[in-house]
């Protein structure tokens, strides 16, 4: 294991590549670069190693490490006007592996159109498209074949191609299909089909529209989470890779190259948990790669003098590269939670927490993850008034910056398409550590989240001080574009329509969350759905959304790929504009939010970056 403990020893080294951030992208990138034994790679990670932690390792514990300051950086948004002044928690993994320690392990593939759109922001750089990114997603994966029969797979909506054409077999990131499904799973699929939403037996081949389950980062050999590369990448690393944990980068050291006019880095300053009064500097021969994630990447760029001078200079930070797009363009998926009581004969995750259905380790902890059912829907499925939506977007375009106007043009293609999902429903048989925190003794429940996949609202992340240990100011500006609230209202309505559609509706006893009292249901704990159509009152749905919506923790975009004049921070090679040897490799480079969860794409970006970097240096 290439983890070193001495900051002085690390600083005394000189590396070809220094990667700031040992998270989802950073560790995979480091491992790939270090496969060439002729180069040296150093990784600075602010968190500590978190091995053998049941809250992390055990899939059934997903969600319970969030909000625990041992595992979570505990970042909060500023109060959100669109959410009634609430501040939202932004779970970020506080350890080696980054936020892959905390997320819910889904390995979703984007829609083919999502990835082809990346090419429109790459400045003409080829390879940012579905065809090439599919290969990089495959490169990252080690697919574990399912254990259930093909017949049972089709019953639960799975018929995957394991020939190697669609799924990878030799990568570091393990993925498998869940080995347990709630009774509700098949019922939801049938109800969705009754509503015109087709079963999708292979959503990983470019078409992610429809109802299905997904691959998860669980190793079926031991039942452990395998989403964070620390477990599977680092044990294979050679001596040319060194990782220093507890090390917070404070600045990328930049000097102007007079012949090119570019800022070039020869080192990175950092603090270490062992002595935060001392500043260390590690030297770099070739490149500095920033992989700190969507919130900390713009922070370290700004602390280094790369950003908008109007943000930097009031804090006394010298502007080395004027780059107004740093920290702008923040996008995230917003989720409206709901909870329903089900017939007690409907087996779900609440039941199996006390059974042997999922398998147990020596401590009696479940070794699997009960798969949610996912519904990815288009404009027709949610009955969106697309003409009204288009009018709203056209009005926004006229008052937008050129870069944002380009994004809106792409989004109009997505929203007007019948083959591209614009929203999502996450339906899980059982409760989990998401709102609501209700006492549920003796009850079986189904949780549902209504998700806006392609928001129009854009937020910001900027430094609040010159201290690298202080959190940046994060302002997602959720629901600041009025169309977002209208669309997510339609998702909530669609979800409730499904709960009334047989055979799914046959197992729903009533609604528990929103609390019945809030939607006119009287002083009861469970409101039978045949006694209410509260969702038909759009104002009630909008009120509930603003009161209860949370993030799904899929932020992107704060160091976006794009041309400099249109607000881009990195070019098609992921190099920071105005620098000679600084790149960004994480979700912050994604210019436009995906129609699905982003983990698989982040791994693919790391794989692609490794090839681009190696090609630059001809190694």
Instruction: Evaluate whether 152 touches 146 at the Cβ level (below 8 Å).
Output: no
Same domain, 302 and 264: yes
Average pLDDT in the chain: 88
Confidence band of 352 (pLDDT split at 50, 70, 90): very low
CA-based angle 610:615:617, to the nearest 5?
A: 100
Same domain, 515 and 399: yes
Q: How far apart are CA 484 and CA 80, in angstroms?
A: 14
Same domain, 361 and 494: yes
**Which among 548, 578, 608 is the end of a domain?**
548
Same domain, 278 and 385: no
Does residue 208 form part of some domain?
Answer: yes
Instruction: Evaluate whether 538 touches 509 at the Cβ level (below 8 Å).
Output: no
Query: What pLDDT digit, counting tens, does each position of 187-242 carry?
Result: 999 999 999 999 998 999 999 999 998 888 777 776 666 655 656 666 667 789 99
Query: What pLDDT digit, counting tens, does each position of 525-568 carry?
Result: 777 787 778 888 899 999 999 999 999 989 999 999 999 999 99
Q: How far apart are CA 377 and CA 21, in angstroms?
A: 35
pTM: 0.94
Mean pLDDT of 244-258: 97
CATH of the domain at 418: 3.30.410.40
Confidence band of 41 (pLDDT split at 50, 70, 90): very high
Same domain, 503 and 604: no
Same domain, 580 and 442: no
325's tokens: 């797009």
Q: Give which of 591, 566, 599 is closest to 400, Cα–Cα.
A: 566
Same domain, 419 and 496: yes
Residue 363 has pLDDT above 50, yes or no: no
Q: What is the pLDDT of residue 547?
A: 93
Please name the residue that has the structure tokens 């925190």. 437
CATH of the domain at 36: 3.50.50.60
Mean pLDDT of 142-146: 86
Q: What is the pLDDT of residue 126?
A: 87
Instruction: Evaluate whether 30 touches 41 at the Cβ level (below 8 Å).
Output: yes
Same domain, 187 and 234: no
Q: 99 among the known binding-site residues?
A: yes
Strand (E) or helix (H) holding 254: strand 247-256
Same domain, 325 and 341: no
Give me the helix-helix angle, 402-416 and 386-398, nearest 10°.
Answer: 170
Mean pLDDT of 297-312: 98
Give me the helix-helix angle, 599-616 and 130-140, nearest 10°.
Answer: 100
Q: What is the pLDDT of residue 443?
A: 76
Same domain, 198 and 344: yes
Question: What residues contact 51, with CB distance under 8 A and at least 6 apart?
Answer: 230, 231
Please name the residue that has the structure tokens 């019945």. 516
**Which among 548, 572, 607 is the end of a domain?**
548
Does residue 221 form part of some domain?
Answer: no
Mean pLDDT of 246-255: 97
Give percent of the chain above pLDDT 70: 87
Alpha-carbon torsion, ordered 209, 213, 215, 220, to 10 deg: -170
Does residue 610 form part of some domain?
Answer: yes
Residue 2 has pLDDT above 90, yes or no: no
* Domains contained in the chain, number: 2
Does residue 571 form part of some domain?
Answer: yes
Does residue 71 form part of some domain?
Answer: no
Does residue 446 form part of some domain?
Answer: yes
Look up the domain containing 249 and give its range: 3-53+230-330+556-589+597-616
Q: What is the pLDDT of residue 196?
A: 97
Does residue 517 form part of some domain?
Answer: yes
| Range 215-243 burial, b when 16+ CB lie within 10 A, else e | bbbbbbeebbbbbbbbbbbbeebeebbbb
**Which among 488, 522, 548 is the end of a domain?**
548
Same domain, 440 and 511: yes
Same domain, 384 and 424: yes
Residues with a catalytic annotation lie at 554, 597
């Amino acid at each position: 294991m290439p983890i070193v403990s001495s900051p002085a020893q690390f600083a005394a080294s000189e590396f070809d590549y220094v990667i700031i951030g040992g998270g989802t992208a950073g560790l995979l990138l480091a491992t790939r670069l270090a496969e060439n034994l002729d180069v040296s790679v150093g990784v600075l990670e602010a968190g500590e190693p978190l091995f053998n932690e049941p809250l992390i390792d055990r899939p059934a514990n997903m969600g319970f490490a969030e909000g625990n300051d041992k595992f979570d950086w505990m970042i909060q948004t500023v109060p959100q006007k669109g959410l009634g002044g609430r501040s939202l928690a932004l779970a970020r993994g506080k350890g080696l592996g980054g936020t892959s320690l905390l997320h819910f392990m889904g390995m979703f593939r984007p829609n083919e159109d999502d990835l082809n759109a990346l090419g429109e922001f790459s400045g003409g750089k080829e390879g940012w498209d579905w065809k090439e990114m599919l290969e990089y997603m495959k490169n990252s994966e080690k697919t574990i074949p399912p254990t259930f029969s093909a017949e049972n797979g089709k019953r639960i909506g799975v018929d995957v191609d394991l020939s190697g054409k669609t799924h990878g077999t030799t990568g570091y990131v393990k993925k498998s299909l869940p080995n347990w499904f709630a009774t509700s799973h098949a019922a939801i699929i049938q109800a969705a089909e009754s509503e015109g939403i087709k079963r999708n037996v292979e959503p990983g081949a470019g078409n992610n529209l429809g109802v299905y389950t997904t691959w998860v980062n669980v190793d079926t050999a031991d039942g452990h989470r395998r989403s964070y590369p620390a477990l599977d990448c680092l044990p294979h690393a050679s001596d040319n890779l060194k990782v220093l944990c507890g090390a917070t980068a404070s600045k990328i050291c930049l000097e102007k190259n007079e012949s090119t006019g570019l800022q070039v880095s020869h080192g990175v300053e950092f603090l270490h948990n062992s002595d935060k009064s001392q500043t260390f500097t590690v030297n770099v021969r070739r490149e500095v790669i920033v992989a700190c994630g969507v919130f900390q990447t713009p922070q370290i760029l700004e602390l280094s003098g790369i950003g908008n001078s109007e943000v930097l200079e009031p804090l006394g930070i010298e502007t080395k590269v004027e780059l107004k797009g740093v920290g702008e363009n923040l996008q995230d998926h917003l989720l409206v939670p709901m909870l329903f009581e089900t017939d007690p004969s409907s087996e779900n995750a609440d039941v199996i927490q006390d059974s042997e259905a999922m398998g147990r380790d020596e401590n009696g902890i479940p070794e699997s993850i009960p798969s949610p059912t996912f519904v990815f829907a288009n404009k027709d499925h949610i009955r969106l008034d697309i003409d009204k939506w288009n009018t709203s977007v056209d009005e926004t375009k006229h008052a937008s910056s050129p870069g944002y106007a380009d994004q809106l043009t792409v989004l109009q293609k997505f929203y007007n398409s019948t083959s591209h999902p614009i929203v999502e429903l996450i339906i899980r048989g059982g409760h989990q550590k998401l709102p609501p925190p209700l006492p549920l003794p003796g009850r079986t429940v189904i949780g549902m989240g209504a998700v806006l996949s392609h928001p129009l609202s854009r937020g910001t992340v900027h430094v609040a001080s010159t201290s690298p240990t202080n959190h940046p100011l994060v302002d997602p500006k959720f629901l600041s574009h009025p169309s977002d609230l209208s669309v997510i209202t339609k998702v909530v309505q669609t979800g409730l329509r499904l709960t009334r559609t047989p055979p799914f509706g046959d197992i729903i006893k009533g609604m528990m969350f929103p609390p019945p009292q809030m939607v006119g249901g009287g002083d009861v704990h469970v409101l039978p759905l045949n006694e209410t159509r509260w969702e038909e009152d759009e104002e009630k749905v909008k009120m509930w959304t603003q009161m209860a919506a949370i993030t799904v923790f899929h932020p992107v975009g704060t160091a976006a790929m794009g041309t400099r004049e249109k607000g881009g921070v990195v070019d098609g090679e992921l190099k920071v504009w105005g620098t000679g040897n600084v790149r960004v490799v994480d979700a912050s480079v994604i210019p436009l939010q995906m129609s699905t969860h982003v983990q698989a794409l982040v791994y693919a970006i790391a794989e692609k970056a490794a090839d681009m970097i190696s090609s630059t240096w001809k190694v």
